[in-house]
Amino acid sequence: MSTPDAITSEARVFLEPGHPRQRQYEALRAYFVEGLPSPEAARRFGYTAGSFRVLCHKFRRGDLGAFFRDLPRGPQVQATKDPARPRILALRKQNLSIYFATALGGLFVFVPWLVRLDLAGLVTTAGLPGTRMIPAAQAVRATLALKLTGTERKSHVMDRVFDEGLALWTGLNVPPKPTFLSQYSGRLGPRRLAALLEGWIRTLRGQPVLPGQSFSSTWRP
């Protein structure tokens, strides 16, 4: 057997593998193909006798998976970059990435539709009220979030007040409290609600949401 000093740099790639998967492969090959005794194969590749027996057992059962994968062939076309990518990278460099835990992740499925249907524009056109701390669009999103998540009463928002995902979806640091939501509903009035509903129906008519279906509003103040 070659002494350690006699190992060439090329041989070290196989006898002293740096990647764990290659180390498994080389150790198993030495044992099953080259006939190296189990203790010697374990010692050569840095396993204990027990851990190497477990490795062999998993290999026999087929639990180790494939050691190699096919490489992509042909010219690799770079994916089209999203126009927002430069802005995202710039924000990340400012440590402005958002990491939050939420029980209401399903809300974000609706974000593309909020943008596509211009909810903020509908709210502005209908003249819905807002405050400096809670603008109209954020107030409407907070109320809509309760409907989308099946929250039956405004008072139940306190169960979600510390949910960072809900706050982010609403566009505020924290969701509005029950008092604000109750008072806000009373401030809308029938004229504003009618204007919002009419704008919503008008927007839906111009979108292929449900092809072949018509939208109409029969609600009157």
Q: For 145-200, what is each residue's pLDDT tens digit?
A: 888 887 766 666 777 777 888 888 888 888 888 888 888 877 888 888 888 888 88
In a domain, 149, yes or no: yes
Q: For 50-91, what is each residue's pLDDT tens digit?
A: 889 999 999 998 888 888 887 777 666 666 677 778 888 888
Is 185 found in the same domain as 128? yes
Is 143 found in the same domain as 54? no
In a domain, 116, yes or no: yes
Tally of domains within the chain: 2
Q: How confident is the model at residue 212 (pLDDT cuts 50, 70, 90)?
A: low
What pTM was estimated for this model as a whole? 0.49
Is 108 found in the same domain as 51? no
Is 106 found in the same domain as 27? no
Which residues, 6+ apart, have CB-to-CB distance to 9 below 8 Å? none
Is 188 found in the same domain as 141? yes
Residue among 49, 37, 45 at smallest CA distance from 12: 45
The residue ranking higher by pLDDT, 98 or 42, is 42
CATH number of the domain enclosing 51: 1.10.10
What are the structure tokens assigned to 96, written together?
């402005």
Torsion of CA 211, 217, 218, 221, to 10 degrees: 160
Q: How far is Cα 170 from Cα 143, in angstroms, rounded to an integer?
A: 9
Is the separation of the CB atoms in 56 and 28 below 8 Å? Answer: yes
Q: In terms of residue numbers, what domain contains 195? A: 100-205
Name the DSSP letter for residue 212.
T
